[in-house]
Structure 1
């Protein structure tokens, strides 16, 4: 019997079409291969965003106490509500920007780890820093599209309610809401690889969106299934990590006034959330990049391109970075 040659595996994945096990093993493997870079980056970004957003929310929380005679803390004014919404929005923006920065940096680390090449935090920053504007633009564009779509659906339901009463609104909402959810899921899935394309292929926003759609379209259900399974896994892990901190926060906050108790509970909740994110965000980023790699291997025979990088050995990072730029003919 003829001997079957072993599949090349210079780094975290074999250079062939990837199974789910290959993708998950690779997502863990790149963290183990670059623990200081991956966990260091994640810890710095996550802790910084949590501190900034936490300061904003704690500062606003302290303004929601009674501020006038006869007014209780359960009767916030319009200004209090506006301040709270502003602070919440600011915290969400800070978190989103931190996630974008981290995703871009981790994408570069995974790209190198495919070839077994190490990378420092400084090197990752130097490679990806000029891609942040495109990543932020992509996130803003997708967010705006989602808001417009949801607003349009809400306007249709409101118009139906005004014209025909509650019954008409319900009649419109019943089929419209599942259709809206399906549209959002579809859009999120077909654009899932756009951030990776921006970083590894160095494409502008709209070209990255087109390229992501091209890569996903023939394997939509597989991509969606792996993304959904990954989201479920990281949600369970995050919840398990945060649970003891939430319980401890509730015990500490018991018997205190509303303001102090809320601040204590929020503090311990944020500690648990921060630790959970440091654990799961690198894994999620790794799965996304390796799933993108798998789609290129299956749709563009990209494993042949990757093997040219494997021939050069594990310490040719500048050259292997350029291999991601290779596009299929035509």
Structure 2
């Protein structure tokens, strides 16, 4: 949506204003509205026109908005005792979001756009689990105890690629859902395809940064052990140094967590997207960290609950085969029944959790821009809400509403 009138691209010459949100009492900043003088009654043009051009000083008329009553979209009266409700054209209200609203927005996106979100995640999960099962069946225990490692090395690139594609497509779906619009898989693919290579590069770069920090922290310990030394005190101190690198990697992860939405929705480059993420996260690190961790914990809890029944079924079906392997002294490998049951559990859980975690990431990005840049006003215009001066997306060449 960076091409929408009134939107400033973060890559433009004008630096982003991190605290550009209007003050709470600045209702006049919204196009088409003005704040009446203190103590003066509010003017209602539509009502006055319908009653013969009645003067402003007259009281509320029958059938018009009452003080403390209901205004547009079922919200309280504009100048009544209650605060006006925020517009909600899509899955979230257009204002700074709380934790519950972010989680509810993620669930609402999956529920209202289930054909696209669950269809995308189902396709990704099936291919990913097929790669894991196929690799383990092809190896068939020939690598002994290294079978899980070999399987992970083969399936990891496939999982990463599929994860990038899913994140890109779901970002486009969520950006439309915020405006109350729908997007098919074809629409999401068309919008996301030009940025996929850059998103893959961004994902690799952020992964290497995090892994490099941890590896750098444990490098002295690894070098000390490889040199053949084993002084317990020195080993303990070097282990502490390595462990301390893990919080640093988490700090960097949150600092760069909004880079992918910025790249996809603002058409940023890789390095500008990283810088953009750091600016948006500034001052909100703990909040973003907590919501990200909570979202992943909830997703892991759901995945575990769905996996337990299939794990039990696989163990029952493959118990005889597994016990025979153990009795014969051969390297134990998972029986086919257990592989298939685990794959089914993985498909079902990933189908639900992939869109949930991806949506939380996009909503956090939008929330940070609302808090810092008053993005809610521009989103209301883009959604076509007339009281914000919006007319919807009417570009004759079909401008893409997915771009923020």
TM-score above 0.5:
yes
Map of 1:152 onto structure 2: 216
Count the aligned residue pairs.
307
Structure 1 residue runs without a partner (length 5+): 65-75, 325-330
Aligned partners of 2:91 and 2:109 also within 8 Å: yes
Q: For residue 97 of structure 1, what is the aligned residue in structure 2?
A: 161
1:64-213 equivalent positions in 2, closer than 5 A: 64=143, 76=144, 81=146, 85-161=149-225, 162=227, 165-174=231-240, 176-213=241-278
Find the residue that maps to 1:188 and give its secondary structure: helix
Q: How does 1:1-330 map to 2 (within 5 A)?
A: 2-3=79-80, 4-64=83-143, 76=144, 81=146, 85-161=149-225, 162=227, 165-174=231-240, 176-256=241-321, 257-258=324-325, 261-311=334-384, 312=390, 318-322=399-403, 324=404
Q: Tell me, in whole angstroms, the C-alpha distance in 2 between the residues paired with 1:293 and 1:108.
A: 13
Whole-Å Cα distance in 1 between the matches of residues 86 and 148 of structure 2?
56
2:217–2:244 CA contact under 8 A, matched in 1: no
Alignment RMSD:
2.1
Residue range with higher mean Cα deviation, 121-130 or 145-154? 145-154
In structure 2, relative to structure 1, the CA distance for the partners of 1:314 and 1:238 (3 Å cut) is: farther
Normalised by the length of structure 1, the TM-score is 0.87
TM superposition score normalised by structure 2:
0.71
Q: Give, in whole Å, the separation in 2 of the partners of 1:105 and 1:30.
A: 13
Structure-2 separation of matches of 1:236 and 1:84: 24
Range that drifts further, 192-201 or 159-168: 159-168
Q: CA deviation at 1:14?
A: 0.7
Residue 263 and residue 150 in structure 1: after superposition, are their counterparts in 2 closer, same or farther (change >3 A)? farther
Q: Secondary structure at the match of 2:183?
A: coil
Structure (1 or 2) with the larger CA radius of gyration: 2
SS at match of 1:318: coil
Higher helix residue share: 1
